[in-house]
Amino acid sequence: MKKELLVKLLEVSPKTVYNYEKENRQIIRLLKKYFTDKDIIEFLETGKISKCEDIAFVQEEAKLLEKHLIDHAYYSLKPKLKEILGGTSFGPNKMYTKGATGILIDVLKKISPKDSSFDIDNAKDRLLDRISEEELKWLAFKNPAKRDLLSHYIKEDFSNAEILAMVQNSNEVVEYLKKI
């Protein structure tokens, strides 16, 4: 990077820039590592760097796409929950999954829809952690075997997006699960 640009950008003398370089100051390392002469010239002329502005735009677009993905996952979630946990009214799957459904309801009731610790990357793992922490008794309808079944379903049949949608809409999902 040209010293003249650093002098203009930092608003210091050429000797100061020389001393900063000699002292291996972090600001000089940062500027040289992440910005080109063209970037600095653009900033000095316009007050912004277009590649940085583009990054902010891309991040906003990514947030919007994630929101649409979660919205779509929420609506695809209900039929999947009914298929996996609902079974038929008198079928064996209904009896076998009833305890697992109850555990999921209990866990979802304890999670706030606004819990920001759940995100698209970790939603499934966080929910599985919450399920494994749930207090259960062997001689009850909601027992460790049902917890293992629920964990299996979560791992194998649901995506992170669906789990995040489940958490973000936990109140509605709980009501839906009670009906199936």
| Angle in degrees, 0-180, between the axes of helices 160-168 and 123-133, rounded to the nearest 10 | 60
What pLDDT is attached to residue 170?
95
Structural domain boundaries in the chain: 3-48, 58-179
Rounded to whole angstroms, how far apart are CA atoms 67 and 80?
20
145: CB partners within 8 A, 6+ apart: none
- 3-class SS of residue 103: helix
What pLDDT is attached to residue 88?
52
Residue 180: DSSP 8-state: -
AA letter at 83: E
pTM over 0.75: no
pLDDT digits (tens, 9 = 90+) for 18-69: 999 999 999 999 999 999 999 999 999 999 998 888 887 888 888 899 999 9
What pLDDT is attached to residue 9?
94
What pLDDT is attached to residue 132?
92
Let me know how long the chain is: 180
- 3-class SS of residue 71: helix
